[in-house]
Chains A and B, each alone.
Chain A
Amino acid sequence: AQSVTQLDSHVSVSEGTPVLLRCNYSSSYSPSLFWYVQHPNKGLQLLLKYTSAATLVKGINGFEAEFKKSETSFHLTKPSAHMSDAAEYFCVVSAPAGNKLTFGGGTRVLVKP
């Protein structure tokens, strides 16, 4: 069994300041972890994935995430927020050889000018 908890339902940042989106997971095996972004009325776009290689994963648009097994966390960060980063972000887990994705509840990011 696996589950994902996103600790903040909403995050508000000013443009140009860092963004931190927190995610904790629960899994009975070494999971694959993903971050997806969803812009309004659109599908989901993959930002990055972790699959047991390097624990610091770099993604698109300047985002990165660090896998910490001891803390069962996979937090997403970006050094400097842009207005176009306003969207909903989902932390997602799957079994390594599995195909079913389990989603967190999402974090809605607001970027203030």
Chain B
Amino acid sequence: NAGVMQNPRHLVRRRGQEARLRCSPMKGHSHVYWYRQLPEEGLKFMVYLQKENIIDESGMPKERFSAEFPKEGPSILRIQQVVRGDSAAYFCASSPPGQGAGSQPQHFGDGTRLSIL
């Protein structure tokens, strides 16, 4: 059973370009989460999605960032007009349906390292 798959593993963009990060959850998992990790810091929650629905986007910057989890295909985290401060590791996690992280722990992918030149 494949784990959470993220691609690309590394992404380099110039300032002003768009970055698209993809996440395929584990088989049977319908909940997807995105986290950002800045250098030397812990992970910070960005957004929680279920199929075709954004459940909690309280950690998403108000501008330039968007996320989707369509009925078919992977979840996409999109960053428009990237800036140097967007350089970070972006992690996706998934979990099966259920009552909260306590009963359904999140499984993490290996992350996408985004570098902005």
Contact = CB atoms under 8 A, between A and B. Distances in A.
B109 A99 contact: no
B107 A46 contact: yes
B28 interface: no
Interface string A20-47: 0000000000001010100001111110
Nearest to B101: A94
Contacts, number: 77
B69 interface: no
Contacts of A44: 43, 91, 93, 108
A36 to B, nearest CB: 8
Interface in A77-99: 90, 94-99
A100 B107 contact: no
A41 B45 CA distance: 19
A105 B100 CA distance: 22
A97 B56 CA distance: 14
Contacts of A97: 99-100, 102
Contacts of B48: 99-100
Interface of B: 4, 6, 31, 33, 35, 41-45, 48, 55-56, 58-59, 91, 93, 95, 99-103, 105-111, 113
Nearest 4 pairs between A and B by C-beta?
Answer: A32-B102, A103-B42, A43-B108, A97-B100
Given A52-B102, A90-B42, 6 more contacts: A43-B4, A43-B91, A43-B108, A94-B102, A99-B55, A101-B106
30 contacts: A32-B100, A34-B105, A42-B110, A42-B111, A43-B6, A43-B91, A43-B108, A43-B109, A43-B110, A44-B43, A44-B108, A46-B105, A46-B107, A49-B105, A51-B102, A52-B102, A95-B100, A96-B100, A97-B100, A97-B102, A99-B55, A99-B100, A100-B45, A100-B48, A100-B56, A100-B58, A100-B59, A100-B101, A101-B93, A103-B44
